[in-house]
Structure 1
Amino acid sequence: MKMYWFELTDERYNDLGAAIPDGSNKQAAINKAKQWMRDNNVAKAMLAVNSMRTDNLIDVINIELN
């Protein structure tokens, strides 16, 4: 099972301080990030997906709220 840790950042890769739980489900992390963004009036952000095993950046998911 793949395990990830997530970090929500702005367009300049500054950490926004969102508490996104570690886990294996990227969609759950995206949903949690969207909820945090709605609660904090953030329209655009990027969710960095990192491997817990290798500590490498695996993916960056752009999130935009309408």
Structure 2
Amino acid sequence: MRVRLRTDVLKKRATAREDNTLQAIANRIGVEESTITRLFNGESEPRLATVLKLHDAYGVPVALLIRREEVPA
């Protein structure tokens, strides 16, 4: 199983706060843009600390920010 960021949910909430770029999202939560880029591209799993920062910044419940993906055996 893999955990992925629900970029659709995050993008909608970020846009509502006028954070229209990945850099703006990164700046708001205090991480590198490359971290957000990897999450949006599905290249890495979100760390709990990052998910919590996104929750704090955008008010999205943690359970709505992540989704589980089954990995074929």
TM-score interval, smaller chain: 0.3 to 0.5
Q: TM-score when scaled to structure 1?
A: 0.33
Higher relative contact order (Cα pairs below 8 Å, separated by 6+ residues): 2
Structure 1 or 2: more helix by fraction: 2
